[in-house]
Chain A
Amino acid sequence: METAVHGKEIRKDNPVLRKIGRVIIWVLLIALAAFTLIPFVWMISSSLKLDREVFAFPMRWIPETFHWENYSLIWEKVPLLTYFKNTAFIAIVVTILQTLTSSFAAYAFAKLNFRGRDVLFLCYIGTIAVPWQAYMLPQFIMMRSMGLYDTLWAMVVLQAFSAFGVFLMRQFYRSIPTELCEAARLDGLSEYGIWARIMLPLSKAAIATLVIFTFVNTWNDYMGPMIYLTRDINKTVQVGLRRFIQENSSDYHLIMAASLCSLLPVSIVFLCLQRYFIEGIATSGLKG
């Protein structure tokens, strides 16, 4: 009893302190948000300047005159549209293949009993722990001998069958009661029917997470396309942008404009679906 009273006293006598605490929290938050956003602001500002203005001293956050023509210039100088198309193709095909095949396989792992299940699942889990960089070379040699080198399909098969997707979906399916499947089985639904009519509709949240993750990761992937795609008509946004930077390393303003364009699609997807994205990470907690 005594301690309770003591606690109340402490809480009562510091409204001022609490207010100061609030202010400090907000100041810190705004400062950190500024630190996070400043590179993007600088990117926008530089993309609207002339190249010699970018590193002028003292620095101006708002350009003297806005050079919007930078944005039309880059479309002439860089085949950005081709890059966008290639990346979109890879990202969309990978996302569809990945979501379909992994939710299919995850159903078998989560809800069916069959011989060899645990061994197979162990294979999947085991390779999640193996870094891609450790086996990218044999994979590359194999793909090249299959004639997939410098094709967009190389990027597709590289990422479409990841063990991570299967793992994520399996974890989710396990949380769906097995009785539901059994009832459906008694009602005469085939396993395929159960997957399509019960599991899929119930796993919308997990699928949304997987879709966004796959899409963003594929879009932003750098090392894969870097190794596999050499011809300009096959390049993705990331490696295409990199090539442009290497070839025009002093066109700072154009580089910043092109970089900003490369950010847009994923940013839009993220801002629209950020709730799923962030909640997906919070619940599945994986993939760095």
Chain B
Amino acid sequence: MSQAEVKRVRYKMGKLERKNTLVAYSFLAPNFIGFAIFTLVPVICAIALSLFEWNGGDISKLKFVGLDNYATIFATKKVAEKGLGYFFNRADLGIALKNTVFYTVITVPLTIICALALALLLNKIKGAVFFRTVFFFPYVSSMVAICVCWSFMLMKDGPVNQLIMALGINFNKGWTADSTMAIWSIILVSVWRNMGYYMVLYLAALQGIPRELMEAATVDGASKWQQLLHVTLPQLKPTTFFVSVMMVISCFKIYDVVAIMTDGGPGRATKMLVTYIYDEAFIKVRYGQASAISMVLLVIVLAVTIIQFSSEKKFSND
């Protein structure tokens, strides 16, 4: 090939590449433009906004305050004075964090146990499709309807308390109005609603366990119980890990159930991170502080995600 020819081919290829890139961008553009404007820009702005003070209104009122918003939400002055106890018992953020963590710590294992139990019961049984549909149903039904239904059922004279009384336990308070029971009613609804969803994930994982493993265990004389403990459960470890990470993240984002059933109350008994963000942003209109709390949520969720990525190898079956 002569110099000129090489040049020509190169030119042609360059042109082709440019053309390809253009075509690729034309595929991306419709989604990317929307995505960039409505997601990417706000994400970047969220970080910036946490360093400003602004209560809506004219943009000229935007005032740079550095880390002041963080100092406020972490109540640094009072904490320096009265110790860390102040943060967790008095400061809004401390209480919201405490409630959210409590909710997460209880909800995640409970949901996993229920989902796993359902999946194990349903695995290889006639009529599984029917039951699968039943258990999954709460997950697709609208939040407002089911939360209202549950909060009625948990009322002072509601069917749940009637049942409890019939069992001989004397409890006649409305669950959502009681400061200790309120969070439990939220946990109850969450578990009830989500167990079917995670059951589906477990069912898929159970189907993926190689038959030979089960057969080998049976041949070796393992009882059903031993099979479950020594073959099935270890095989489900990656799914359990994945499910718990997903669930921890979604637990930290809880809002709907709380907003509908208790609205963060009574008092601050069910105030969660996102309810706190909502209040600061849309009710008290303190944009800077709301953004600072958002960053706390962001850091927690990202930390969980990073843990997931870094330990994925450890938990994967190989």
Which residues on A are within 8 Å of B, measured CB to CB? 3-4, 6-7, 10-11, 21, 25, 28-29, 32-33, 35-37, 39-40, 42-43, 46, 54-55, 57-59, 100-102, 104-105, 107-109, 112-115, 117, 120, 123-124, 127, 129-143, 157-158, 160-163, 166, 191, 195, 216, 219-220, 222-223, 226-227, 237-239, 241-242, 245, 252, 255-256, 259-260, 262-263, 266-267, 270-271, 274, 277-278, 281-283, 285-286, 288
Which residues of chain A are near B42, meaning CB under 8 Å?
135-136, 138-139, 142
Q: Are A123 and B259 in contact (CB under 8 A)?
A: no
Which residues of chain B are near A141, meaning CB under 8 Å?
45, 287
CA distance A136 to B294 in the complex (A): 9
A129 to chain B, nearest CB (A): 5
Q: Are A262 and B290 in contact (CB under 8 A)?
A: no
Stretch at the interface among B6-14, B33-41, B69-77, B85-93: B33-41
A-B contact count (CB 8 A): 271
Known: A39-B149, A138-B291, A158-B38. A131 touches B30 (CB 8 A): no
Q: Are B39 and A127 in contact (CB under 8 A)?
A: yes
- Interface assignment of B180: CB less than 8 Å from any CB of chain A: no
Known: A161-B31, A222-B260, A266-B141. A129 touches B121 (CB 8 A): no
Contact with A along B121-153 (1 / 0, CB 8 A): 110010000011111111011111110111011
**CB pairs A–B below 8 angstroms (10 shown):** A35-B192, A55-B157, A120-B32, A127-B35, A134-B46, A139-B39, A241-B144, A259-B149, A262-B144, A263-B145
Which residues of chain A are near B267, meaning CB under 8 Å?
none
Q: Are B249 and A285 in contact (CB under 8 A)?
A: no
Which residues of chain A are near B182, meaning CB under 8 Å?
none
CA distance A143 to B253 in the complex (A): 22
- Interface assignment of B179: CB less than 8 Å from any CB of chain A: no
Which residues of chain B are near A242, meaning CB under 8 Å?
144, 260
Task: Please give me the residue from chain B that is nearest to A9 by CB atom.
Answer: B221
Q: Are B294 and A135 in contact (CB under 8 A)?
A: yes
Q: Are A135 and B142 in contact (CB under 8 A)?
A: no
CA distance A32 to B27 in the complex (A): 48
- Interface assignment of B233: CB less than 8 Å from any CB of chain A: no
Which residues of chain B are near A58, meaning CB under 8 Å?
162
The 3 closest A-B pairs by CB, nearest first: A161-B34, A282-B204, A259-B145
A62 to chain B, nearest CB (A): 14
Q: Are A135 and B46 in contact (CB under 8 A)?
A: yes
Q: Are A134 and B295 in contact (CB under 8 A)?
A: yes
A105 to chain B, nearest CB (A): 4
Known: A112-B20, A161-B34. A7 touches B218 (CB 8 A): yes
CA distance A132 to B297 in the complex (A): 10
- Interface assignment of B169: CB less than 8 Å from any CB of chain A: no
Which residues of chain B are near A100, meaning CB under 8 Å?
30
CA distance A40 to B146 in the complex (A): 8
Q: Are B152 and A57 in contact (CB under 8 A)?
A: no
Known: A42-B149, A135-B39. A219 touches B142 (CB 8 A): yes
Task: Please give me the residue from chain B that is nearest to A43 by CB atom.
Answer: B149
Which residues of chain B are near A25, meaning CB under 8 Å?
121, 125
B159 to chain A, nearest CB (A): 5
How many of B's residues come within 8 Å of A, CB to CB? Answer: 92
Partner of A108, one of B28, B37, B281: B28
CA distance A281 to B135 in the complex (A): 14
- 14 other A-B residue contacts (CB within 8 Å) besides A120-B28, A134-B301, A288-B197: A10-B221, A104-B30, A114-B21, A127-B35, A127-B39, A133-B294, A138-B43, A161-B31, A191-B27, A255-B148, A259-B142, A262-B144, A263-B142, A277-B136
Contact with A along B17-60 (1 / 0, CB 8 A): 00011011101101110110111111101100100000000000
B213 to chain A, nearest CB (A): 14
Partner of A220, one of B31, B143, B204: B143
Partner of B143, one of A32, A136, A166, A222: A222
Q: Are A36 and B134 in contact (CB under 8 A)?
A: yes
- Interface assignment of B247: CB less than 8 Å from any CB of chain A: yes
Which residues of chain B are near A132, meaning CB under 8 Å?
253
Q: Are A163 and B39 in contact (CB under 8 A)?
A: yes
CA distance A244 to B19 in the complex (A): 56
Task: Please give me the residue from chain B that is nearest to A25 by CB atom.
Answer: B121
Q: Are B260 and A263 in contact (CB under 8 A)?
A: no
Which residues of chain B are near A161, meaning CB under 8 Å?
31, 34-35, 38-39
Task: Please give me the residue from chain A that is nearest to B48 by CB atom.
Answer: A138
Which residues of chain A are near B301, meaning CB under 8 Å?
129-131, 134
Known: A7-B221, A101-B31, A104-B31. A131 touches B249 (CB 8 A): yes
Partner of B305, one of A129, A160, A270, A278: A129
CA distance A46 to B38 in the complex (A): 42
- Interface assignment of B112: CB less than 8 Å from any CB of chain A: no
B119 to chain A, nearest CB (A): 11
A230 to chain B, nearest CB (A): 11
Known: A6-B221, A288-B247. A157 touches B38 (CB 8 A): yes
Q: Are A133 and B221 in contact (CB under 8 A)?
A: no
Known: A39-B150, A245-B148. A113 touches B20 (CB 8 A): yes
Q: Are B34 and A135 in contact (CB under 8 A)?
A: no
Which residues of chain A are near B27, meaning CB under 8 Å?
104-105, 107-108, 112, 191, 195
- Interface assignment of B316: CB less than 8 Å from any CB of chain A: no
CA distance A258 to B37 in the complex (A): 37
Task: Please give me the residue from chain B that is nearest to A2 by CB atom.
Answer: B221
B125 to chain A, nearest CB (A): 7
CA distance A160 to B204 in the complex (A): 29
Known: A3-B221, A32-B118, A238-B143. A137 touches B24 (CB 8 A): no
